[in-house]
Amino acid sequence: MSGSTDRQGSDAVVVGAGIVGAACAYYASRAGLSVTVLERGTVGSGTTSRGEGNILVSDKAPGPELDLALWSRALWGELGGELGTDAIELDEKGGLVVATTALDPLLAFADGQRAAGVEAVPVPSGGLRDLEPHLAADLPGGVHYPQDLQVQPVLAAAALVRAAQSRGARLEQGVEVTGVERDGSGAVTAVLASGRRFPTRTVVNAAGTWGSEVAERLGGPVPVLPRRGFILVTEPLPRVVRHKVYSADYVENVASSDAGLETSVVVEGTRGGSVLVGASRERVGFDTAMSVDVVRRLATQAVRLFPFLADVALMRLYRGFRPYCPDHLPVIGADPRVPGLVHACGHEGAGIGLAPATGRLVTQQLTGQQYGVDPQPFSPSRFAEVPA
Amino acid sequence: MSAPTTITFDGHEIPFLPGQTVGAALTAAGIRSWRTTRVEGRPRGLFCGIGVCFDCLIVADDRPNQRACLLLAQNGMRLASQEGTGRAHLTV
């Protein structure tokens, strides 16, 4: 094909400059690899900018994703030190999960999490308002998760990319990947994007919600699908909500495979003053249409937890597409069909929280170092169409 | 005989003409700012005048964040300067 060849070449080409691609570039360049990041839009312009900046352990049941989340949470703490907690608005606010009907299932869930290393402190009904004074008085109780954090995801992605660039990584924005070149053995030799050729032996698919399409172009398809989520934004308020507060049915909805609309409210403050109200999930492809029904349901559930919100105006809303795999685990690891192709996508609503651990896992794969957690559950080999 | 047409602003009576907005009545009375910004406490009043910029927010009958440029003055309406978000009492 025609077009220019990047003469320099790279140890790794990362596709996507969302939070996951940014973390991959950060850790790979820190490990001494030369990295080129190819981004179709701009840094953090996809799903990274359409969520709430959740770094949660509270919503995860014991298992591989919780192990990854606990590790990643610790890495976020380190990143705060390296990038500046203020610069990325990293806030150790903690989570408060409240039951709106029965409390026992939530307490049982927390027992299991505690056994897996999560700090989970039961809060009786009468103690809820010590933590959150504006909560409704008639809620049956909840669980406090001090380890939950919040970060401003676009600032964090930009800071990670900048830090990678300071170690020699290159960022190409407005560049769309179209395919790969492979040698006689099938191994990757270059990534093709927007008429240009980027020589490399390794390409990392960090395309998030579009990871399935990019995987297809790179020769190793994986099943990543969009799940639409709305977030409501209130007018600016003083500090009215201290924690990330959500109703216990959020956990159930995240894990659900129902195609219909599911809403379970998540309420939290921001540094800017607006309160954010999430989170809905529906499988409607890449349809961005506004839905009054979703707004009404989220607003009603938010007022159920925080009655004062009834009198507060919504300024706007935004929506995005959470990239999910059928088994609700991200795809992280080498693709056995295409030597040199490594996937790092499909994190659903947990991509911000899981990004540092994902970047670490990918980098360890590239450098042959020890893994921080067992990578096997996240391997693309788990999908039927991928040979082990 | 037409009904008396006054609003109060921070306790002072201000006249208005039928159909006039709160922002217009205050400005006609020589009052140019009635809100302070959230972070730096700077004075604000009418800016765009057409409901877009949200600079002219005011407390009207105890409701904060009303746009003075769109709000029609009504007899007896109680207006008050707004400090910051206008909801400091909610701070936790």
Q: What are phi and psi of B5, to 5 degrees?
A: -125, 90
> For residues A56 and A105, what is the distance between their CA atoms, to the nearest angstrom?
19
Which residue of A235, A240, A242 is in closest CB contact with B65?
Answer: A235
* pLDDT value, residue A370: 86
> For residues A88 and A163, what is the distance between their CA atoms, to the nearest angstrom?
13
Dihedral angle, C-alpha A72, A75, A77, A78, nearest 10 °: -170
Domains in chain A, start-ordered, CATH in brackets? Answer: 12-50+153-223+328-382 (3.50.50.60), 95-146+225-324 (3.30.9.10)
Contacting B residues, span 7-66, partner chain A, CB-CB under 8 Å: 38, 65
Per-residue pLDDT of chain A (388 residues; tens, 9 = 90+): 446 888 889 999 999 999 999 999 999 999 999 999 999 999 999 999 999 899 999 999 999 999 999 999 999 999 999 999 999 999 999 999 999 988 999 999 999 999 999 999 999 999 999 999 999 999 999 999 999 999 999 999 999 999 999 999 999 999 999 999 999 999 999 999 999 999 999 999 999 999 999 999 999 999 999 999 999 999 999 999 999 999 988 766 666 666 677 778 899 999 889 999 998 888 899 998 988 999 999 999 999 999 999 999 998 999 999 999 999 999 999 999 999 999 999 999 999 999 999 999 999 999 998 888 999 999 999 986 666 5
Closest CA to A99 of A142, A57, A37: A142
For residue B3, give both structure tokens. Answer: 């009904």
Q: How far is the alpha carbon of A212 from chain B, nearest alpha carbon, in Å?
A: 41
* Helices within chain B (DSSP H only): 22-28
Query: Number of CB pairs < 8 Å for A and B?
Result: 30
> For residues B51 and B67, what is the distance between their CA atoms, to the nearest angstrom?
7
Q: Provide DSSP, A125-136.
A: GGGHHHH-TTS-
Pairwise CB contact (< 8 Å): B65 & A240? no
> For residues A62 and A189, what is the distance between their CA atoms, to the nearest angstrom?
39
* pLDDT value, residue B4: 62
CA A99-A103-A104 angle, to 5 degrees, is: 145
Percentage of chain B exceeding pLDDT 90? 95
The answer to whether B22 touches B60, Cβ cutoff 8 Å, is: yes
Distances (CA, A) of A136 to A99, A302, B73: 11, 10, 36
Using 50, 70 and 90 to split pLDDT, how confident is the model at B1? very low
Q: Which amino acid, residue A231?
A: I
Tell me the whole-structure pTM to 2 decimals.
0.91
φ/ψ region of A53 (left if φ > 0, alpha if ψ in -120 to 50, else beta) reads left
| A274 alpha-carbon distance from chain centroid | 21
* pLDDT value, residue B92: 93
With an 8 Å Cβ cutoff, is B84 touching chain A? Answer: yes
Pairwise CB contact (< 8 Å): B91 & A239? yes
Q: What are phi and psi of A143, to 5 degrees?
A: -135, 130
SS3 B75: coil
Within chain A, strands assigned E span 12-15, 35-39, 54-55, 95-99, 121-124, 141-145, 149-150, 170-173, 177-182, 188-193, 196-199, 203-205, 225-234, 244-247, 262-269, 275-281, 314-324, 331-334, 341-345
Pairwise CB contact (< 8 Å): B87 & A273? no
* Helices within chain A (DSSP H only): 19-30, 64-83, 104-115, 128-131, 153-166, 211-217, 249-255, 292-305, 351-367
* ipTM for this prediction: 0.83
Q: What is the DSSP letter of A326?
A: T
The answer to whether A306 touches A354, Cβ cutoff 8 Å, is: no
Domains in chain B, start-ordered, CATH in brackets? Answer: 6-83 (3.10.20.440)
Query: Does the pLDDT value for residue B2 go beyond 90?
Result: no
For residue B24, give both structure tokens. Answer: 């217009």
* pLDDT value, residue A245: 96
* pLDDT value, residue A271: 86
> Which residues of A lie closer than 8 Å to B, measured between beta carbons?
132-134, 235-242, 273, 308, 312-313
